[in-house]
Chain A
Amino acid sequence: AQSVTQLDSHVSVSEGTPVLLRCNYSSSYSPSLFWYVQHPNKGLQLLLKYTSAATLVKGINGFEAEFKKSETSFHLTKPSAHMSDAAEYFCVVTANTGFQKLVFGTGTRLLVSP
């Protein structure tokens, strides 16, 4: 079985400062991991994905995440926040073998102040 924990429900940063959104996972199988972003009244947009290739994954809009198997973590980072990054972010886990449902974290709302 898979599960995912997003450690912070809200994160506040100032524009131009680094962003760190934390995610821990558990999986009985070799996992695939994703980060999605959701802007108000919109669907979920894929930011990046890890599917057992390079452990440091680069995504869109300057975001990246590092898969750390020993820590069962997949934290999302960005060196410098922009006002347009304010949104809700979801960490998602599934398995690489056969059909496994996507398991969504409860989300982290990122607030960016000027």
Chain B
Amino acid sequence: DVKVTQSSRYLVKRTGEKVFLECVQDMDHENMFWYRQDPGLGLRLIYFSYDVKMKEKGDIPEGYSVSREKKERFSLILESASTNQTSMYLCAVQGRWDQPQHFGDGTRLSIL
């Protein structure tokens, strides 16, 4: 099974800070994803990447950017954190497009 590791389980930052969330996989899969999960709204796709240095916007990319310099690592960046970005962030990895995604344990981010 794919192992998906998110660098932090819990993170507290202040408004205006630049925040980095890291995700690492151990299976050499091409596709990686960042979601946020909020009560009542379910999972929403922020960005995804289908190869090194390749990225595509998801449904809610505003206020976020991503970086994929190496195949195994996909970073989510909050350029200037705001309180409405307080959420649970989930990274996922996928092999073929019709196959399931495998998720990390999530990072619960609080912006004060």
A42 surroundings in chain B (CB, below 8 A): 105-106
* Interface-located stretch among B13-21, B71-79, B93-101: B93-101
Complex Cα spacing A97 to B42, Å:
25
Pick from A41, A45, A49, A100: contact of B108, CB below 8 A.
A41
Q: Let me know if A102 and B98 touch, CB within 8 A.
A: no
A15-23, A62-70, A103-111: which lies at the B interface?
Answer: A103-111
Contact in complex: B100, A49 (CB < 8 Å): yes
Tell me if A89 is interfacial: C-beta within 8 Å of chain B: no
Q: Give every chain A residue within 8 A of B106 (Cβ-Cβ).
A: 41-43
B98 touches A96 (CB 8 A): yes
Contact with B along A29-64 (1 / 0, CB 8 A): 000101010000111111001010000000000000
A84 to B105 Cα, complex, angstroms: 18
Q: How many residues of chain A get a CB closer than 8 Å to chain B's CBs? A: 26
| Cβ A43 vs Cβ B98 within 8 A | no
Closest to A49 in B: B100
In the bound complex, CA of A41 to CA of B104 (Å) = 11
Chain A residues within 8 Å of B34, by CB: none
Q: Does B52 contact A (CB under 8 A)?
A: no
B109 → A minimal CB distance (Å)? 13
Query: Are B42's CB and A104's CB within 8 A?
Result: yes
CA gap between A105 and B40 in the complex, in Å? 11
Residues in B lying within 8 Å of A, measured CB to CB: 4, 9, 40, 42-43, 45, 50, 58, 90, 92, 97-106, 108
Interface pairs (13), CB distance under 8 Å: A32-B98, A41-B9, A42-B106, A43-B106, A46-B100, A51-B99, A94-B97, A94-B98, A99-B97, A102-B101, A104-B42, A106-B40, A106-B42
Known: A43-B105, A44-B43, A92-B100. 15 other contacts (CB 8 A): A32-B98, A32-B99, A34-B100, A41-B9, A41-B105, A42-B105, A43-B103, A43-B104, A44-B92, A90-B43, A96-B98, A99-B50, A101-B45, A106-B40, A107-B42
